[in-house]
Structure 1
Amino acid sequence: MTMTDPIADMLTRIRNALRASHEVLDVPASRVKLNMVKVLKSEGYIKNFKMVSDGRHRQIRIFLRYDKDGSPVIDGIKRVSKPSCRVYKGHEEIPPVLNGLGINIVSTSKGMMTDREAMKQGLGGEILCAVW
């Protein structure tokens, strides 16, 4: 069975692992997902990540981050641009997430970055997901 939206699958796996209080989760690897995880790491939403392989399949192992009281750092993660309805915005039109408390991950011509970085560089692109 083929998967129609692997990015949404990754976000759902992260959401489910956070609800179950898992420390680590594995997602099938792709270049887009790896770049999204790099943005999540640089913004402090996850502890770390690494590529693992069993010889046939590559996986991204994501180490989730929790507060001192055990609550997850990621309160919500939502897919914005979908295969059925792509969302492209210019740098002036990118909407803030929770009045600037969260981030949008934007795929630009200069690579994957947060909405703040894209606005600073004057780049627009496809808004892949929102994290808060």
Structure 2
Amino acid sequence: MTDSIADFLTRIRNAINAKHRVVEIPGSNLKREMTKILYDKGYILNYKFIDDGLQGVIKIALKYDPETKVNAIKAIKRVSRPGLRKYTGYREVPRVLNGLGIAILSTSQGVVTDKEARAKRIGGEVLCYVY
């Protein structure tokens, strides 16, 4: 597998489409940081990092509305990919759905959201959009 971030996003997208409650994803430090951001912004219900001696596993509990059974994540899209990287300066950091969604960036100061990147005045690689 050459693009582990695309695999991470696709596993979440497929679990949402299949109406699963929990999804297991092979772990990495970048995926752990992305998972923490999704939890902090309210897109997932909970997460757990399991250390199995190798790379580890990330268990993510997906968030659904109890009445309408609609998921909190409407769309999750990969932006920068191995064949075409997308970098941005802090002045051109994209706004997703005019501020209703988030863009996740990998910067020199770690993995941050678009709002945090604008506040810290740092740019980086745009990993994905979530709304």
TM bracket, shorter-chain basis: over 0.9
The alignment status of 1:103 with 2:83, answered yes or no, reads no
* Partner SS for 2:10: helix
Match of 1:40 in 2: 38
Q: Distance in 2 between matches of 1:53 and 1:71?
A: 31
The alignment status of 1:128 with 2:127, answered yes or no, reads yes
* Partner SS for 2:80: coil
Match of 1:8 in 2: 6
In the TM superposition, what are the counterparts of 1:67-82 in structure 2 within 5 Å? 67-68=65-66, 69-82=68-81
Match of 1:22 in 2: 20
In the TM superposition, what are the counterparts of 1:84-99 in structure 2 within 5 Å? 84-99=83-98
Match of 2:111 in 1: 112
Query: Which stretch shows the higher mean deviation, 44-53 or 121-130?
Result: 44-53
Aligned residue pair count: 130
Aligned letter for 2:106? S
- Structure 2 gaps of 5+ residues are none
Residue number among 39, 47, 50 corresponding to 1:49 in the alignment: 47
Match of 2:60 in 1: 62
Decide whether aligned partners of structure 1 residues 55 and 120 sit closer, same or farther in structure 2, where only a CA change above 3 A counts: closer
Q: Distance in 2 between matches of 1:81 and 1:57?
A: 23
Could you list the per-position Cα deviations for residues 63-98 of structure 1 after superposition, in whole angstroms to 9, with x for gaps in the alignment?
A: 110113210000000000001111110111011111
Provide the identity percentage. Answer: 52
How large is the RMSD of aligned CA atoms in angstroms?
A: 1.1
Structure 1 runs of 4+ off > 3 angstroms? 53-57
Aligned letter for 2:119? K
Q: Distance in 2 between matches of 1:120 and 1:111?
A: 14
- Structure 1 gaps of 5+ residues are none
